[in-house]
Amino acid sequence: MQFHNIDIVMLDMDGTMLDKHFDDYFWEHLVPEKYAEKHSVTFSKAKEVLLSLYRAHEGTLNWTDIDFWSKELDLDIPALKEQIKHLIEVHPYVEDFLGLLKQHKKKVMLVTNAHFKVLDLKLKKTQIGQFFDRCITSFEIGHPKEDIAFWEKLYNIAPFDKDRVAFIDDTCEVLHTAKRYGIHNLILKRKASSKRADKPCPDFYTIEDFRELISLIRGD
């Protein structure tokens, strides 16, 4: 990976820059707990029902659409996220890396499947928003990043040279889609959650934390 040949760095948010523990805890513990209370079922039954629903919508816009889930589950999902926003944490060295990119005059873009409301919540809770030239969500594009149409429409909105852009994400499927579109400089961020082991994905240049990319840029 040679950053002197890169003009634009695109970064995913959840799992890549932010600890995915917040999202895992929310969807696998808090939401089942509230669903069980609302529908008078056990926690284990609620979790069984919800995991089935999640799987049915994974990889679609519904998957990260908190308005959809509010209606589907009859729960105030945005309000529940507010309740545990103290769990939103930035991965180590992310802000150092973003600041270094700006020092080196790189254009920095946040490219996320997160809903507008979730993006707003997380940017208010953290300080990372100051580093981005532009923040683009799949809801603005109309397709999730797992869909090649996302990348085609992203190019129309914010054109880039495929050979001079780097994209960093924690999801193997998303990186494969970006590769199919023609982006060559792809980086997998491991340790998406500080509390959970990763699934293996040996197909891409991989980092465990952003110190590795900081060293690359500085030439250490």
Give the domains, in start order, of the chain with CATH numbers: 3-19+89-218 (3.40.50.1000), 22-86 (no CATH)
User: pLDDT > 70: what percent of the chain?
Assistant: 99
Per-residue pLDDT at 135 = 96
Mean pLDDT computed over every residue of the chain: 94
Q: In the predicted model, what is the mean pLDDT of residues 153-164?
A: 94
pLDDT digits (tens, 9 = 90+) for 160-196: 999 999 999 999 999 999 999 999 999 999 999 999 8
Q: What is the mean pLDDT of residues 86-105?
A: 96
| The pLDDT of residue 220 is above 70 | no
- The long-range contacts involving 14-17, CB below 8 angstroms and separated by at least 24 positions, are 14/112, 14/113, 14/114, 14/122, 14/170, 14/192, 15/169, 15/170, 15/171, 15/189, 15/192, 15/193, 16/91, 16/168, 16/169, 16/170, 16/189, 16/192, 17/90, 17/91, 17/94, 17/128
Res 22: pLDDT: 97
* pLDDT at 167 (0 to 100): 98
Q: Is the pLDDT of residue 69 over 80?
A: yes
| Mean pLDDT in residue range 134-139 | 96
Residue 202 confidence (pLDDT): 83
The overall pTM is greater than 0.75: yes
Amino acid 42: pLDDT:
97
